[in-house]
Amino acid sequence: MQSNISLASQIGDYKFDNLLLNAAGIRCATTEELDKILDSDAGGCVTKSATPEPRKGNESPRMKATSMGCINSMGLPNHGLDYYLKFAEANQGKNGKQVILSIAGLSIDQNIEMLKKIQASSFAGLTELNLSCPNIAGKSQVGYDFEAVRDVLTSAFSFFKKPLGLKLPPYFDFNQFDGIAEVLNDFPVTYINVINSIGNGLVVDPETESVVIKPKGGFGGLGGDYVKPTALANVRALRQRLRPEISIIGTGGIKSGKDVFEHVLCGANLVQIGTAFGFDGTPIFERISKELTAIMEKKGYKTLDEFRGKLKTIE
């Protein structure tokens, strides 16, 4: 039976037939993996965050699945900006699907250098500037330093005229929600993506009496069930504080249609799936689409707009 329920959404001028995307970093480092996502039910794909040159990343073991999700300290292994930019130029808009190009320089200068290259290229899609990688030893997450965020955006928007999104770390205090929103509202940011993994968690194996990943003494970014309430809080708190023109991608703890429904209720325009996509691969996009459609059907919703941001509070 043909459903009259739509999972279509939009960010800026960019239309997505389905609000589900992969999260940067999971099964998206090669063109083969990216092609697979574009061939699935996802509304588009996001590339592994790129650095100016290819990187091998941190030493293994650098990712460990747990019963509640995963911990990683990959350290930005990637094929370098040229590789992903070429893919993005060739595939953006193909079959009505968007390619989001993710970049994560190790300094402001590297980010500006990459944005200049993207500005000069034929790529006309969305670029996602990752200001929240928790796994580079000796580098703190730019997203926690609001003056540094202001500096990078001031430099970027002095020449970058294409649509720009920002991948942000999780915030935990109302002062942080207020502080980052105040900065972002001063710039023509197209969207934000919240949240990156919760940085510097520690998983302990009591059998071996050891940490489970090698880099940084075992500290790494948490994803999966651990992070959903924090992700929902960030989507909600920032939706309440950002200019309405700034869209929000909700990322964190999504493994079912119910999880997507909750992210949209908090205000997400699109959502990205990381840990669970790592576990299940591309069939997850069809399964979650069906689950979300069933929830909407039961509740009598035909579009995401009918419930987006409409989370109720208790009087």
Active site residues: 133
- Does 210 count as an annotated binding residue? no
Residues 30-69, one symbol each (x = binds ligand HRO by CB under 6 A, - = not), give: -------------------x--------------------
- Does 309 count as an annotated binding residue? no
Taking the C-alpha atoms of residue 190 and residue 141, their distance in angstroms, rounded to an integer, is 21
Under rule CB under 6 A, which residues in 190-229 are in contact with ligand HRO?
196-197, 221
User: CA angle 109-115-116, nearest 5°?
Assistant: 90
Joined tokens for residue 78:
């990637």
- Does 76 count as an annotated binding residue? yes
Taking the C-alpha atoms of residue 52 and residue 45, their distance in angstroms, rounded to an integer, is 20
User: Taking the complex as a whole, how short is the minimal distance between the CB of residue 255 and ligand HRO, in angstroms?
Assistant: 17
User: Taking the complex as a whole, how short is the minimal distance between the CB of residue 237 and ligand HRO, in angstroms?
Assistant: 20
The residue within the footprint of ligand HRO, chosen from 133, 184, 238, 270 (CB under 6 A), is 133
- Does 196 count as an annotated binding residue? yes
Taking the C-alpha atoms of residue 299 and residue 100, their distance in angstroms, rounded to an integer, is 32
Give the residue ranges of DSSP H helices in the chain: 31-38, 81-91, 108-120, 146-157, 174-184, 228-241, 257-266, 275-280, 283-299
Part of the chain binding ligand HRO (CB under 6 A), chosen from 35-43, 130-138, 279-287, 296-304: 130-138
Backbone region of residue 216 per phi and psi (left: phi > 0; alpha: psi in -120 to 50; beta: other values)? left
User: Taking the complex as a whole, how short is the minimal distance between the CB of residue 1 and ligand HRO, in angstroms?
Assistant: 40
Which residues does the annotation place in the binding site?
48-49, 72-76, 130, 167, 195-197, 224, 252-253, 274-275
Which residues does the annotation place in the binding site for FMN?
48-49, 130, 167, 195, 224, 252-253, 274-275
